[in-house]
Amino acid sequence: MRRYAKPIVVADDLSLLRGQTTGLVTLPRHLDWSGAANYDLDSPGRVVDLYRTVLIEGTKPDDLHRFLDQTVLTRLWPSIWLPPELRHAWEQRFPELRPTGPEISAA
């Protein structure tokens, strides 16, 4: 077990996620210190990058509320790579984010 684990921040309610959905977004340094903190939300690849960055690096609920949008997050959720612990925490809080489809049975 790791001695240090970054805290996981999960929104209290998906409806609080009302971030910008088009145009250019610049993340603050505490979320993106890479030097490429500008995200063009009209470019699908950059949208995924922004959502992954905010979900992983967010330190407070306001980070999530300010930069994520409920509809976009729900649409992108299956395609965003996230650490397993983070994905699990979000899917526990919001079952609607869990994968849907036929159950796989262990025979």
Beta-carbon contacts of residue 23 (< 8 Å; ≥ 6 apart): 40, 41, 42
pLDDT tens per residue across span 17-37: 999 999 999 999 999 988 888
Distance CA 74, CA 19 (A): 13
Q: Give the pTM.
A: 0.87
What pLDDT is stored for residue 100 in this prediction?
A: 82
Q: In 10 A of CB 16, how many CB atoms?
A: 13
Give the Cα separation of 54 and 12 in Å (integer): 16
Give pLDDT, residue 105. Answer: 43
Report strand pairing: 24-26 vs 38-40. Answer: antiparallel
What is the per-residue pLDDT across 73-102, written as a single tens digit (0 to 9) for each? 999 999 999 999 999 999 999 999 998 866
